[in-house]
Amino acid sequence: MHIVIAGNIGSGKTTLTNLLVRHYGWMPRKESVADNPYLSDYYKDMKRWALNLEVFFLKERFRDLLEINHEKQVVVQDRSIYEGVYIFTANNHDMGNMSDNDYDTYMGLFESMMMVARMPDLMIYLRSSVPHLVDNIHKRGRDYEQNMQLNYLKNLNDRYDDFVTNHYPGRTLTIDVDNLDFQHSREDFAYIVKQIDTQLAEIEGREHTLFNKI
């Protein structure tokens, strides 16, 4: 089974991923942010480095998908390839950071990759307000994130809501995290686990039904 933790920058994806790994014993698949050689340069000059940044992320996430497809245990992934493409890359294109030709080439590459990929069984979307995101970003103190524009975060938030609500075809669980402290509160984490357990039971029940029909 493949589970994705989705959400904007600073929404708590990595923290929740770590907690779920500890709780369920799942295998983590972390986003390779620190390994992206273009990230720091991108936040200094988005138009120059956007294509390089997004192609690197696409390459890494596609490799993750291929490896996850061969795993026999449950994998929980910190951000999906779909978010990278339909939210972050689309936002870069609309902001003018990627030319139409570069964007079309990028999308052609992604569509070719999707011919051999399988969708996650569940996407858990951590929805957060921009002030909450900013607070978390400041707390974790990554240098390259500290000058991030509020409008940039808002655009990403709007795209997340639209994508998850109106366009993503897979199973989703949306959790509003503004008033949750699942890292430090057992009650808040238990609240999330209960919702996930309900989704897992429905997935397993559906798979059992389909298996019996075969």
pLDDT digits (tens, 9 = 90+) for 98-119: 999 999 999 999 999 999 988 9
pLDDT at residue 13, rounded to an integer: 93
Quick one: DSSP state of residue 180? -
pLDDT at residue 193, rounded to an integer: 97
214 — pLDDT class (breaks 50, 70, 90) = very low
Residue 171 vs residues 43, 125, 187, 203: alpha-carbon distances, Å = 33, 11, 25, 9
**94 counts as catalytic:** no
Q: Does residue 214 or residue 51 have the better pLDDT?
A: 51
Whole-angstrom distance, CA of residue 30 vs CA of residue 14: 7
CATH number assigned to the domain comprising residue 67: 3.40.50.300
Q: Which of 41, 64, 78, 161 is catalytic?
A: 78
Q: What is the pLDDT of residues 62-76, one digit of tens each?
A: 999 999 988 989 999
CA atoms within 13 A of residue 36's CA, in its CB half-sphere: 24
Q: Which residues contact 140 (CB under 8 A, 6 or more apart)?
A: 10
Residue 126, strand partner residues: 7, 175
Domain extent, residue 101, equals: 2-213
pLDDT at 208 over 50: no
Q: What is the pLDDT of residues 116-150, one digit of tens each?
A: 988 999 999 999 999 999 888 877 756 655 666 78
The total of structural domains in the chain comes to 1
